[in-house]
Amino acid sequence: MPWKAVGATLLAAALPPVVAGILFGKLAIAALIAAMSAYLAAKDVRTGSAGLIVFSTGLAGFVCLGNPDMALLVAPTVGLAAAAAGHYGFARPVIRGLIFWTIFTSALMPADRPEALFVVYCLSMAWSLGVTRLAGLSATMGAEEAESGQYSTVFGVVFATGLAISVYVGSRYFGAHGFWFPLTFVALCLPPHGQLFSRTFQRGVGTVVGTLVVFLMGLVAPDPWWIAPLGVVALPIGFRILPQSYAGFITCLTITVLAFLNLATDLDTLAFERLATMGAAAVMTGILAALGALVLWFVKPEALKALQG
């Protein structure tokens, strides 16, 4: 990614949470969700369509605020919706929108201020979409091929099941940052699915390396404010090396996320939860992908062959 595009990306996706954090504290989480989701979705489709997608996933998130039981109902529903969108060639932007939707299922969200969260979310989304469009970065990823009815059905069942399981397990067994389990699962399910195992391997390598870098930095400089600048530097470098190195991007993204979350949470706990959720998501994704491929082999073998090709 050219440096000009890197600058526009940071302006669209990173500036809203920084400003919201300075002005409103924890409400910055809503700004992060909206800005990142809008930027990623707008890379796939025009900004108008991206806005509808991100606004819809945001509403699905607000329904889950402070209500883990509701999150378990919403998770498979949005999973099926993403698969249905794939039948019309829109799976990628919807799934990108769902990546950060998973944060709504965690205890990190200040559920006692839903009105303020909603305003910050909408303003951040609008800002991100506007910057992405003005920078000429919208709809630059190429058109997505529509999926067959049989493939969409199989993927919908697999995706909905995995999303429900990951939300349940993440929220109950991985602490306040359990959202990393469903977040990683959703990210691994991005089309094209023929790259699933390669993407899982690269994401695993990037997660381990990024976690180790921050952990070792923590041993040298225990004060989290000394580690935070590392996250600021890593993010633009990560965008710069895309799409040449997905593993490198995940390494830089992991460094950035851990460096900033370390300001509020113990680094040892963060490192364990990040590695554990990545491993759990990879194993579950592999099992569900194998089951989905088996079903697809029975109902539409030519779709499976096309996927492998």
Query: What residue ranges do the domains of the chain occupy?
Result: 3-308
pLDDT attached to residue 25:
83
pLDDT attached to residue 42:
92
Question: How far apart are alpha carbons 229 and 216 in whole angstroms?
Answer: 15
* Cα of 137 vs its chain's centroid, Å: 19
Q: What is the pTM of this model?
A: 0.82
Give the number of other CB atoms < 10 A from CB of residue 145. 11
Q: How does pLDDT run along the chain (309 residues), one tens digit per residue?
A: 788 888 888 899 889 988 988 898 888 888 988 998 999 899 889 999 999 999 999 999 999 988 889 999 999 999 999 989 888 888 888 988 888 888 888 777 778 888 999 999 999 999 999 999 999 988 887 777 777 777 788 888 888 999 999 999 988 887 777 888 888 888 888 776 556 567 677 878 888 888 888 888 888 877 777 787 887 788 788 878 877 888 888 888 888 877 777 665 676 777 777 777 778 877 887 887 777 777 766 766 665 555 544
Residues found in the chain = 309
pLDDT attached to residue 196:
57
Question: How far apart are alpha carbons 56 and 19 in whole angstroms?
Answer: 24
Q: Which helix (H) or strand (E) holds 97?
A: helix 91-101
Question: How far apart are alpha carbons 12 and 34 in whole angstroms?
Answer: 10
Burial of 71 (0-12, 13-18, 19+ CB in 10 A): buried
pLDDT attached to residue 47:
92
- The torsion angles phi and psi of 245, rounded to 5 degrees, stand at -135, 100
pLDDT attached to residue 54:
95
Half-sphere exposure for 284 (CA within 13 Å, toward CB): 26
pLDDT attached to residue 34:
93
Per-residue tokens: 113: 């201020």
- The torsion angles phi and psi of 67, rounded to 5 degrees, stand at -135, 80
Question: How far apart are alpha carbons 183 and 201 in whole angstroms?
Answer: 16
Burial of 243 (0-12, 13-18, 19+ CB in 10 A): exposed
